[in-house]
Amino acid sequence: MKRDFRAIVITGASSGLGAALARHHARPGVTLLLIGRDEGRLTGVAETCRAAGASVEIAAIDIRETEALAARLLAFDAVFPVDLVIANAGVEASLGPGRSAEPLDAAIEQFRVNLEGAAATVTPLLEPMRARRQGAITLISSLAAMEPMPDQPAYSASKAGLAAWGHALAGWLRPFGVTVTIACPGFIATGMTESYKGWRPFEVSAADAARRIADATARGRLVLAFPWPLVWLIRLGHLVPRILRNAVVDTLFRFTVEKGRD
């Protein structure tokens, strides 16, 4: 049975997938807390969501500001008990020029935003959800968690860590009526992927990705990985010799990323 969510928190909501998720969930009877770094862009997304009938609050907070983030989340939850939190904010980068080592500051930023930031978003709401014995958590991971990309070691590690954390949370929270959905999308047409200089097979729109993720969350699905052609390519790759798998990755998925963030 699909659930209906009324109080929803979304990080990275000022653009890309986060904005698409906000617009997807916006309707009468829904209250949204949209979190992002750019207040101007957040305001624009909020206006669109209000036009669709939702009540909207915004918070211009960097999710690495853990104390400020926790305080804002708990204040919102005290008035509008959160039944869905979507940890979407993310950043990506790649190897340095000429395939040199990934800069340490870029690697650390990806770990802090993609993994630590997601934990900072979700953790303040865990006990309130557990006490109410209901709620849903959506973690935006990546297909790179399933097939780590040589050109994006830190990004792949951060998303794999996020997926592992999600699996552990799901096992712990299951008896308390709180579900976890780990979304592992491939290429989504957002500002972030526009910084990706390489082949982007089976790319989907942000609106389509938001619809798929929202549906999986409403159904309480643990893992959603898409698009299917890439998912099956990854699964088949795990069955073939490593030398063949490396050849495919090196031929088709060699790229660079001009630092991007959603």
Query: Distance from CA of residue 112 to its chain's centroid?
Result: 14
Report the alpha-carbon distance of residue 214 to residue 210 in Å, rounded.
Answer: 6
Token representation of residue 76: 């919102």
pTM of the model: 0.89
pLDDT 10s digits, 223-261: 999 998 888 888 876 776 777 666 666 665 665 565 555
Q: How far lies 103's CA from each of 78, 109, 136, 205, in Å? A: 41, 10, 35, 30
Where do the structural domains in the chain lie, given as residue ranges? Answer: 7-257
Per-residue pLDDT of the chain (262 residues; tens, 9 = 90+): 789 999 999 999 999 999 999 999 999 999 999 999 999 999 999 999 999 999 999 999 999 999 999 999 999 999 999 999 999 999 998 888 888 889 999 999 999 999 999 999 999 999 999 999 999 999 999 999 998 888 899 999 999 999 999 999 999 999 999 999 999 999 898 765 555 555 677 899 999 999 999 999 999 999 999 998 888 888 876 776 777 666 666 665 665 565 555 5
Q: Which CATH number fits domain 7-257: 3.40.50.720, 3.30.70.330, 1.10.10.1100, 3.30.2010.10?
A: 3.40.50.720
Q: What is the CA radius of gyration of the chain?
A: 18
Model pLDDT for residues 134-163, shown as the tens digit of each residue:
999 999 999 999 988 888 999 999 999 999
